[in-house]
Amino acid sequence: MEQINNISNVQMDDSKTVVEIKNLRKSFGKQEVLKDVTLQLYKGENLVVLGKSGSGKSVLIKCIVRLLDPDYGSIKVLGDDVSFIKRNELSKLRMKIGFLFQSGALYDSMTVKENLEFPLRRIKKKMTQKLMDEKIAEVLENVGLLDALHKMPSQLSGGMRKRISLARTIIVDPQIMLYDEPTTGLDPVTSDEISLLINQVQKKYKTSSIIITHDIECARATADRLVMLHEGEVYKDGNIGDYENSDDPFIKSFFKG
Amino acid sequence: MKTKLPVVKIVPKIRDATIKISEKTIVKTEQANEFLVGVADFFLFLARTIRETFSRNFEFKEFLRQCHQIGFKSLPLISITGAIMGLVLTIQTRPILDGFGAVSLLPSMVAISLVREIGPVITALICAGKVGSGIGAELGSMKVTEQIDAMEVSSTNPMRFLVVTRVLAATLMIPILVLYADAMGIMGSWLGVNIKGEVSFVLFISQAFSVFELIDFLPAVVKTFFFGAVIGLVGSYKGYTAGRGTESVGVAANSAVVLASLLVIIVDMIAVQITDMLI
Ligand SMILES: Nc1ncnc2c1ncn2[C@@H]1O[C@H](COP(=O)(O)OP(=O)(O)OP(=O)(O)O)[C@@H](O)[C@H]1O
Ligand SMILES: [Mg+2]
């Protein structure tokens, strides 16, 4: 507990909070997925979110970009309350946020190159074709898939799709990154590379990130702080040491091995 | 005690029956409610589509791609069905006209039925199958695999990018396909006439259009724009509002075809009524 308090004290400064979630509640019909979630993401921090399958982790980050509307509570992103801003302001805010979908969500009807160009054309409107091509080559190199440039998504393996989709997310240099299970379904070597890439993105562009993962190796490699969701609430908030030394059987079951 | 027995027996029966009826009523009410919500939803979707159509930033490239997809790629199917339509109609009509000794009217009779009714409706129904299900399945799978969400977080309005382009492309392409099908049908009809006795193509065409007036043509063309809009809109609506899970894609495609076909027939009925009143 002491360590948690220390972290909080150092980073409680309001100007350093990029995402602030207060008392978030979200249900689908009778199913209450998030009951009361209060959570901050501080500037420059990698925050790992842990939780069982179906605990509402994806729902949580979808609420942040307002793909889902919360039932109750407030979400402030870079100072703006996402529930109350106008559509064009929301659109501007979304330009600053990168979202890696759990399923990848590559556009099936477009080649890898067109997939990567899509956000560039819409977010960095003034970019020349030459600069775009350079940027595309750079991110593809980062995910180790330069030769996939002209392939269709259907020709890629699951892991390759995930990496292309990661490339598409980081291509616009977002200030906030939301990664939904970036390493699930990848082999250990590639997983390590992705973890490394997440850290590089954090250092190079000073991004603040929320990383949802089940992969403890990835969590160890990337996390500055970890939050565990359980039964619709924040179950534990702390750094990796707190979790590994915890006596709580539920947390232990996550970290065994 | 004995006299009371029948009442004692009957009361629970009545109670059970009442419960059953009220349960059924609740289910029916829920179904009716769902239906009404669906209808309201559809009109909201229509309103949103219209609003987005007249906003700035029209997605021209995607619109052209959809015109190619909906128009050009349907040509082979429409060619074959159009020609067969004309051929069959001619072969079927000939004996009837023969009975009245009016075979010379055959070309114009076939041309009028083709252009006024059979061409537009059959082509629209075929397109409801091909185009409607195509749009429904494509948007449905984009919805299920979060591609529509991904577009939204890339600051792209998916209604504008996906729906407006498809609805407009269908509205524009279906009339062209119908005209093309009419032409193919008339060719097919010429073939049918030529099965028994030679008629030159020029003579056939002049016979076919001898009694033809603008009033045969214009309402038929106008209604095809509505057919196109209906097909594009229903396909988009069913795809865009698909549920979660892969089976929703099939459901979206299927219900798009069913609803689009039904609406095409209904629009046709309304169009015929209006034309009838105006003339
Ligand atoms: N759009 C939606 N409509 C209805 N229910 C939903 C929707 N999105 C999520 N749910 C439900 O909310 C619950 C939490 O889903 P969520 O995807 O957030 O889980 P998760 O924590 O990301 O799990 P996983 O680790 O398996 O991805 C699930 O039971 C899911 O069925
Ligand atoms: Mg998830």
> Same domain for B122 and B80?
yes
Quick one: three-class SS letters along A34-56? EEEEEEEEECCCEEEEEECCCCC
* Smallest-distance ligand from the CA of A31: 1
Return all residues near B240 (Cβ < 8 A) that are at least 6 apart.
B45, B139, B143, B148, B158, B159, B162, B163
B89-107 pLDDT, tens digit each: 999 999 999 888 888 888 9
- Does the structure show a pLDDT above 60 at B238? yes
pLDDT at B203 over 80: yes
Give yes or no: residues B42 and B79 share one domain: no
Neighbours of A236 (CB within 10 A): 18
Same domain, B126 and B224: yes
Q: What region, left, alpha or beta, does residue A236 occupy, with left being phi > 0 and alpha being psi -120 to 50 degrees?
A: beta
- The whole-number average pLDDT for the span A55-75 is 94
pLDDT tens digits for range A75-99: 999 989 999 999 889 999 999 999 9
**Cβ atoms within 10 Å of A122's Cβ, excluding its own:** 17
**Tens digit of each residue's pLDDT (9 = 90 or more) over A2-17:** 444 444 444 445 568 9
Region for A231 from its dihedrals, namely left if φ exceeds 0, alpha if ψ lies in -120 to 50, beta otherwise? left
pTM of the model: 0.87
A56-95 residues touching B, CB cutoff 8 A: 62, 65, 67, 91-92, 94-95
* Same domain for B100 and B124: yes
* Judgement on whether residues B23 and B81 belong to the same structural domain of the protein: no
- Tallying the residues shown for chain B, one arrives at 279
Give the ipTM. 0.89
Q: Are residues B127 and B263 in the same domain?
A: yes
Tell me the pLDDT tens digit for each residue of B219-229: 999 999 999 99
User: Domain range holding B16?
Assistant: 1-54
Residues 6 or more apart whose Cβ sits within 8 Å of residue B54: none
CATH fold, domain A15-96+175-257, is Rossmann fold (3.40.50)
**Which of A57, A65, A231 for mutating ligand 1's site (highest number of atoms within 8 Å of CB)?**
A57
Does the beta carbon of A51 lie inside 6 Å of ligand 1?
Answer: yes
Residue A178 Cα to ligand 2 middle (Å): 12
Q: What is the mean pLDDT of chain A?
A: 89
Judging contacts by C-beta atoms under 8 Å, the chain A residues touching residue B141 are 108
Tally of domains in chain B: 2
Q: Do B20 and B124 lie in a common domain?
A: no
Would you kindly state where each structural domain of chain A is located, as residue ranges? 15-96+175-257, 104-173
Q: What is the per-residue pLDDT across B21-67, written as a single tens digit (0 to 9) for each?
A: 888 888 888 888 888 888 899 999 999 999 998 887 888 999 999 99
